[in-house]
Amino acid sequence: MLSFECDYNTGCHPKVLARLCETNLTPMPGYGTDEFCESAKRKILAACGCPDGDVQFLVGGTQTNAVVISSLLRRYEGVIAADTGHIAVHEAGAIEYTGHKVLALPEHDGKIDPAELRNYLRTFYADANHDHCVFPGMVYISHPTEYGTLYTKSELTALHEICGEYRIPLFMDGARLGYGLTSPETDVTLADIAALTDVFYIGGTKVGALCGEAVVFPKKAPPHFITMVKQQGALLAKGRLLGVQFDALFTDDLYMEISRHAIRMTEMLKELFLSRGYTFFRQSPTNQQFIVLNDEEAARLAEKVRYSFWERVDDCHIAVRFAAGWSTTEEDIAALAEILSE
Amino acid sequence: MLSFECDYNTGCHPKVLARLCETNLTPMPGYGTDEFCESAKRKILAACGCPDGDVQFLVGGTQTNAVVISSLLRRYEGVIAADTGHIAVHEAGAIEYTGHKVLALPEHDGKIDPAELRNYLRTFYADANHDHCVFPGMVYISHPTEYGTLYTKSELTALHEICGEYRIPLFMDGARLGYGLTSPETDVTLADIAALTDVFYIGGTKVGALCGEAVVFPKKAPPHFITMVKQQGALLAKGRLLGVQFDALFTDDLYMEISRHAIRMTEMLKELFLSRGYTFFRQSPTNQQFIVLNDEEAARLAEKVRYSFWERVDDCHIAVRFAAGWSTTEEDIAALAEILSE
Amino acid sequence: MLSFECDYNTGCHPKVLARLCETNLTPMPGYGTDEFCESAKRKILAACGCPDGDVQFLVGGTQTNAVVISSLLRRYEGVIAADTGHIAVHEAGAIEYTGHKVLALPEHDGKIDPAELRNYLRTFYADANHDHCVFPGMVYISHPTEYGTLYTKSELTALHEICGEYRIPLFMDGARLGYGLTSPETDVTLADIAALTDVFYIGGTKVGALCGEAVVFPKKAPPHFITMVKQQGALLAKGRLLGVQFDALFTDDLYMEISRHAIRMTEMLKELFLSRGYTFFRQSPTNQQFIVLNDEEAARLAEKVRYSFWERVDDCHIAVRFAAGWSTTEEDIAALAEILSE
Amino acid sequence: MLSFECDYNTGCHPKVLARLCETNLTPMPGYGTDEFCESAKRKILAACGCPDGDVQFLVGGTQTNAVVISSLLRRYEGVIAADTGHIAVHEAGAIEYTGHKVLALPEHDGKIDPAELRNYLRTFYADANHDHCVFPGMVYISHPTEYGTLYTKSELTALHEICGEYRIPLFMDGARLGYGLTSPETDVTLADIAALTDVFYIGGTKVGALCGEAVVFPKKAPPHFITMVKQQGALLAKGRLLGVQFDALFTDDLYMEISRHAIRMTEMLKELFLSRGYTFFRQSPTNQQFIVLNDEEAARLAEKVRYSFWERVDDCHIAVRFAAGWSTTEEDIAALAEILSE
């Protein structure tokens, strides 16, 4: 069935698959020490403009958040996030499972506000009893956010400065980073991100890979990071699986190219909904679009096309998500147009 | 370079890869709810003779051990394992990271002894102060073990009975299960394992898959297991990646066939070392072979073929591991024979 | 210096101390298995009207919250609390340290609202993705709350019913329970609490003891609770220290009598502030009173009497806490009146 | 009944109790910031010869071990201990509950052997796969040990040097430190311990206090230690309870004096058993004595005197513990002599 359900509903980009096929029987050492991983790391660091940084490949998003956050925090620290942040609501308490609190700030279009962050930190340290509280030890942002929105360069710069003042790392969850970098509305580049964060990840699972996220430390990974990765069951014996895929994605600009394609498909999708008079639940400049449907229409559409339920709006309307991705085609959009016309 | 370093140094079996290629662009829902996963589960449960059981696919071995063990234990319980068990030494404390102790029993050829297990449990409950100790809440065994050895059906039956008496689950780590099931020296079948354990996993990473382990609950998974999987960062968004691979591996007996091939290659490898007068460090009836080399020879060989260092034997000898696997070929053995002749 | 800083700034009630002195050299077995503990438990359960329940003595409040909550929750569950709840803000992440999330609901006078609780639970289970979220596994309330406020019997009944429907325990933090039970404004008795909660604790540290909290399970403690207490370092070798104190506190109604005294002192304190025209920051029917002071006055008072800073109100005013307790005397109030007159 | 069951079966030393009575109604700020705590810390640091060190009072032994160990270890590290160490067997997995493994070395009279420790550390780092293992991050010893034995100054010096080489802290559990320092067979002083360890604790619960252990960091406590103490539920609101007691214990050499008394009582106890021809199960130079009894005799004695079961020796003999302490009197010994004569 036609599917706009999510951006992880197909396998991997054909060029990634081809590279997996070519390299399939070449013997390689395990645990990410192979030359495919090495090559991919070099290419990623070059693309980020931080050749002396570190890269670690992990398998999925929740895993990456849990490993990075719990490896960087001291045990008496928690991580600040928007109250709609993925780690705050949709990871089954994975951060708390490692012993750390998620300190929630109010979201604004899915983002945290630099002024509110500064105020939170100032208030924390001004409280004479702060020794009885969880120390803010890190700031987590997602870009795009869970609502598809993006930080501006100026917002990122502000967050970077505040984190610098308080000497806590800024961590960007880039599960859909490609779609953020190629949005027509962004002024943020990959190099900007490497310059303005302490650690971020480049999402593969949702942008052309079978699985895999590339964690980038623009300066340096924490000591014994590999042991902490192993300790959380996140070290892949066949690290090559991730290395080969990211090597393909960072060859000839493939990662950006397929992200741009997804954004083009999103523009068509947006246009289609606009032209048919649909109401948008939230404005999103990236590949996830949120539409309001009445219950009847939602049921009718669900027979022909897959989408995601987002939340109930009122007694007879729901918000739903239609996501485009690297594998969305013009034919998919045309098929949807036809369904909407019925 | 020629490599007998491990059984996870190549990609996946060509039939598995072919299936990944065929299904690559078919859209599927996420998190293991797709039809490939469903199909693979049905085939696995059929092969195990427990059609009403549950299967959950996970990505790697340490992850699987950590998720299964911490999902089944109560918080005041630990897991019993041989002191050489993978969870006891080579998982960077992944079990302890989830808050549980590994209760070590002495190994005998990598195995725990049923009589010693019974004695341990009896002594524990006889101790008037056992409320101040970690309760034994589970028994962990690996089959094949870290030394390539195998439990007999009679040993498994004894362990099963003891666990039944004390009402604690018996968990089998089957990272290399295929190589155990097809060993010429085993009397244990897949159906025996499903009948005699409470949970076990069928290793894919080391037996033909790019990644993936199939956790089998012959009766029933614990309530909310999927949430616990997510909580440990182990739920794959593209669950299909594991479903497709296991579906291929459990079609037309592929899993057993490629395991039998690996065992045939191992027999040739063993024969080769025997015929050249090498000393075996441990006797192993499965795909890992442990050989003693003097330091000079070890260094000379290392220039031509990859193997794994195992441990130092004395001042001038080391034990090393040569592993065959599903991708080992007769040409590989011949090439090794040549190297040994030089 | 005269001190209204808190209700834990003196030692223990003279009758408690006398009992410690009398019993000091009587040899007793350890870990709470002594006859003082047994006697205290019987008296407490009788006072609660649940003679078949269980009691466990612990040392302090944060410890008690952490032990009770983490012993009752399943690993995929979190605990619901008001966003101003002690466990949510002032315990340094003690709950998260045990792997569990605190699920915050908005406070209303420091309390959670039954209707909002019901809505939260209904919404949680209505969300098709709730398997990716932390399950609500318990409700935590404090009585009196952090703001000195009290649940009505009708509110407690409503919470009890909702928890019953969703089969999750209701836990009451009674660090200052005595001062709640003897408030002129309450309609809730100790027996009501035993009937309407699944577990609660009777605070000793702030109500006449040197240290100690009595956890009451009106029905039954969870299996192996003592081992979990030990596992969290909360099992006192000399359990007698707690048993003797609670035995004294529950002899001849001492606990209630000294609480009533504290409430009488609070009434005088309140009257004093009212008569001098002070503004109350929050209305509290128990032993903690919150007053607004301008900065100058605050500084001047601080030279003569100890109080607690609560929070900044505006550029030139702060809210402060004056607490009465079992050891507050009429002389203390008179001395304060004099200071306020200066 | 006459009791030699343990060294925590009575309350506190009369001078300690007197001090609690004197100070009972003096108001003091909470959480260990009071002047009794300050005074006790100064006296303790002076007695240890490290006036610039830090002291933190905690309530009990298991709590102290869990807090100190988990506050000093990095998350990928475990703690080395003798396989009979208290943390390895009798703390219900309290260390693992904080996410850390106890790395067991073979005990020799309850102690770890410096040569074996060095070998363990050397072997660990020589293993090319040590990144997959738990890093040794600390050495835990108890002095006296669980068997009442003592490290010599030369052994402590060796351990200190090895820990220095590997840059890991040496932690001494001194639950019964007084009885170690005053043993006729020791050459180790309190100042030696402060010089040769990185952190240790002076046990109060078993040496004259109602409860309480004084953790001494001869150099400096780790940053934000108080927050970690709170996070583990170990911060006492009425910190004064511990401060007053330790202040009394470290006034006029009381701690050492009552320890010497206990040792004198132990010498009489030992003499008594020797003179009656009893077999000693283990040789102990401190206040715990281990005797072999046949089952019949054990049963007969149990009617007149309390002792602790230690372990079964053979089909008709058990080992039991008789402990003297600060509150043991010559009358107690005489009464036991009479019972043994019956």
d(CA A142, CA D46): 53
Q: Are residues D203 and D276 in the same domain?
A: no
The pLDDT of residue B128: 86
Bridge partners of C317, per DSSP, are C294, C314
- In chain C, which among 93-112 make CB contacts under 8 A with chain A? 93, 96-102, 104
CB contact burial A327-337 (16+ within 10 A = b; e otherwise)? bbeeebbeebe
Q: Are residues C167 and C57 in the same domain?
A: yes
Q: Tell me if chain D has a CB within 8 Å of the CB of C339.
A: no
Nearest C-alpha in D relative to C332: D27
Q: Are residues B70 and B200 in the same domain?
A: yes
Q: Tell me if chain B has a CB within 8 Å of the CB of C33.
A: no
Closest by Cα among B59, B323, B21, B229 to A57: B59
Q: Are residues B102 and B237 in the same domain?
A: yes
Judge contact between B58 and B94, C-beta under 8 A. no
Task: List, for residues D89-138, the tens digit of each pLDDT value.
Answer: 999 999 999 999 999 999 999 999 999 999 999 999 998 899 999 999 99
Nearest to D92 among B128, B133, B309 (CB): B133
Bridge partners of B202, per DSSP, are B214
- In chain B, which among 293-312 make CB contacts under 8 A with chain A? 306
- Looking at residue C152, its amino acid is T
Task: List, for residues C280-303, the tens digit of each pLDDT value.
Answer: 999 999 999 999 999 999 999 999
Nearest to B241 among A23, A93, A210 (CB): A210
Best residue of D84, D103, D132 to probe chain B, by most B CBs closer than 10 Å: D132
3-class DSSP state for residue A84? Answer: coil
d(CA B21, CA B37): 16
d(CA D332, CA D324): 10
The pLDDT of residue D312: 87
Nearest C-alpha in A relative to D130: A227
Nearest CA to CA, how far is D35 from chain C (Å)?
A: 12
First to last CA, chain D: 16
Nearest-5° angle of CA B229, CA B230, CA B234? 65
- DSSP 8-state code for residue C281: E
The three-state DSSP-derived secondary structure of A186-237 is: CCCCHHHHHHHCCEEEEECCCCCCCCCEEEEECCCCCCCHHHHHHHCCCCCC
Instruction: Please report, to the nearest 10 degrees, the dihedral formed by the alpha carbons of residues B118, B119, B122, B123 taken in order.
Output: -150
Q: Which chains touch B (3 or more CB pairs under 8 A)?
A: A, C, D
Nearest to D101 among B75, B93, B133 (CB): B93
Q: Are residues D180 and D87 in the same domain?
A: yes
Give the end of a domain, one of C253, C284, C301. Answer: C253
Nearest to D90 among B75, B97, B132 (CB): B132
Closest by Cα among A212, A215, A251 to A22: A251
Nearest C-alpha in D relative to B83: D104
Closest by Cα among A341, A272, A274, A271 to A301: A341
Burial tier of C36 (Cβ tally within 10 Å: 0-12, 13-18, 19+): buried
Bridge partners of A322, per DSSP, are A289
Nearest C-alpha in C relative to D33: C9
Q: Tell me if chain B has a CB within 8 Å of the CB of C167.
A: no
Please compute the mean of the pLDDT values over residues C183-198 and round it to a whole number: 98
Closest by Cα among A171, A173, A178 to A206: A178
> pLDDT truncated to tens, each residue of chain D (342 aa)?
899 999 999 999 999 999 999 999 999 999 999 999 999 999 999 999 999 999 999 999 999 999 999 999 999 999 999 999 999 999 999 999 999 999 999 999 999 999 999 999 999 999 889 999 999 999 999 999 999 999 999 999 999 999 999 999 999 999 999 999 999 999 999 999 999 999 999 999 999 999 999 999 999 999 999 999 999 999 999 999 999 999 999 999 999 999 999 999 999 999 999 999 999 999 999 999 999 999 999 999 999 999 999 988 999 999 999 999 999 999 999 999 999 998
Task: List, for residues D40-96, the tens digit of each pLDDT value.
Answer: 999 999 999 999 999 999 999 999 999 999 999 999 999 999 999 999 999 999 999
- CA dist list (Å): B9 to A238, B172, B256, C66: 7, 24, 19, 46
ipTM > 0.95 for the complex? yes
C233–D93 CB contact, under 8 Å = no
User: Tokens in use for A81?
Assistant: 């996030």
Nearest CA to CA, how far is A94 from chain C (Å)?
A: 9
Task: List, for residues C192-230, the tens digit of each pLDDT value.
Answer: 999 999 999 999 999 999 999 999 999 999 999 999 999
Q: Which residue has the tokens 């590989």?
A: B332
Nearest C-alpha in B relative to A233: B63
B75–C228 CB contact, under 8 Å = yes
Q: Are residues C74 and C113 in the same domain?
A: yes
User: Tokens in use for A321?
Assistant: 């998500």
Nearest CA to CA, how far is A178 from chain C (Å)?
A: 24
Nearest C-alpha in B relative to C227: B131
Closest by Cα among A215, A120, A125 to A174: A215
d(CA B181, CA B146): 15
- Looking at residue C298, its amino acid is A
Q: Are residues B242 and B192 in the same domain?
A: yes
Q: Are residues C212 and C325 in the same domain?
A: no
Q: Are residues C271 and C140 in the same domain?
A: no
Q: Tell me if chain A has a CB within 8 Å of the CB of C25.
A: no
Give the end of a domain, one of B253, B281, B297. Answer: B253
User: Tokens in use for C302?
Assistant: 């601080």
> pLDDT truncated to tens, each residue of chain A (342 aa)?
899 999 999 999 999 999 999 999 999 999 999 999 999 999 999 999 999 999 999 999 999 999 999 999 999 999 999 999 999 999 999 999 999 999 999 999 999 999 999 999 999 999 889 999 999 999 999 999 999 999 999 999 999 999 999 999 999 999 999 999 999 999 999 999 999 999 999 999 999 999 999 999 999 999 999 999 999 999 999 999 999 999 999 999 999 999 999 999 999 999 999 999 999 999 999 999 999 999 999 999 999 999 999 988 999 999 999 999 999 999 999 999 999 998
> pLDDT truncated to tens, each residue of chain B (342 aa)?
899 999 999 999 999 999 999 999 999 999 999 999 999 999 999 999 999 999 999 999 999 999 999 999 999 999 999 999 999 999 999 999 999 999 999 999 999 999 999 999 999 999 889 999 999 999 999 999 999 999 999 999 999 999 999 999 999 999 999 999 999 999 999 999 999 999 999 999 999 999 999 999 999 999 999 999 999 999 999 999 999 999 999 999 999 999 999 999 999 999 999 999 999 999 999 999 999 999 999 999 999 999 999 988 999 999 999 999 999 999 999 999 999 998
The pLDDT of residue C73: 98
Q: Tell me if chain C has a CB within 8 Å of the CB of A167.
A: no
CATH of the domain at C226: 3.40.640.10
d(CA D271, CA D283): 13
Q: Are residues B230 and B288 in the same domain?
A: no
Closest by Cα among D23, D33, D47 to D252: D47
What is the Rg, in whole angstroms, of the alpha carbon atoms belonging to chain D? 20
Q: Tell me if chain D has a CB within 8 Å of the CB of C5.
A: yes
Name residues whose C-beta falls within 8 Å of residue A267's C-beta, 6 or more positions apart in sequence.
Answer: A184
Q: Tell me if chain A has a CB within 8 Å of the CB of B71.
A: no
The three-state DSSP-derived secondary structure of chain D is: CEECCCCCCCCCCHHHHHHHHHHCCCCCCCCCCCHHHHHHHHHHHHHHCCCCCEEEEECCHHHHHHHHHHHHCCCCEEEEEECCCHHHHCCCCHHHHCCCCEEEECCECCECCHHHHHHHHHHHHHCCCHHHCCEEEEEEEECCCCCCCCCCHHHHHHHHHHHHHHCCCEEEECCCHHHHHCCCCCCCCHHHHHHHCCEEEEECCCCCCCCCEEEEECCCCCCCHHHHHHHCCCCCCCCHHHHHHHHHHCCCCHHHHHHHHHHHHHHHHHHHHHHCCCEEEECCCCCEEEEEEEHHHHHHHHCCEECEEEEEEECCEEEEEEECCCCCCHHHHHHHHHHHHC
Task: List, for residues C39-52, the tens digit of each pLDDT value.
Answer: 999 999 999 999 99
User: Tokens in use for A1?
Assistant: 């069935």
Q: Write out the E strands in C175-254.
A: 199-203, 213-217
Q: Which pairing describes strands A54-58 and C199-203: parallel, antiparallel, or unpaired?
A: unpaired
Bridge partners of B311, per DSSP, are B319
Please compute the mean of the pLDDT values over residues C172-199 and round it to a whole number: 98
Q: Are residues D68 and D153 in the same domain?
A: yes
Q: Are residues A210 and A97 in the same domain?
A: yes
- Looking at residue B16, its amino acid is V
Name residues whose C-beta falls within 8 Å of residue C125's C-beta, 6 or more positions apart in sequence.
Answer: none
Closest by Cα among D173, D197, D212 to D68: D173
d(CA B310, CA B42): 39
Judge contact between C118 and C58, C-beta under 8 A. no
d(CA C320, CA C298): 9
Give the end of a domain, one of A200, A218, A253. Answer: A253
pLDDT over 90 at C117, yes or no = yes
Segment (H or E) for C291: strand C288-294
* Helices B153-166 and B114-126: angle between axes, nearest 10 degrees: 10
- Other residues' Cβ atoms within 10 Å of the Cβ of residue B237: 21
d(CA B7, CA B207): 8
* Total domains, chain C: 2
A101–C96 CB contact, under 8 Å = yes
Q: Which domain holds residue D264?
A: 2-7+255-341
d(CA A42, CA A216): 11
Name residues whose C-beta falls within 8 Å of residue C156's C-beta, 6 or more positions apart in sequence.
Answer: C188, C192, C193, C196, C197
Q: Which residues of D touch B78 (CB under 8 A)?
A: 93, 96
User: Tokens in use for D58?
Assistant: 């905690």
- DSSP 8-state code for residue B119: H
The three-state DSSP-derived secondary structure of B36-62 is: HHHHHHHHHHHHHCCCCCEEEEECCHH
CATH of the domain at A268: 3.90.1150.10
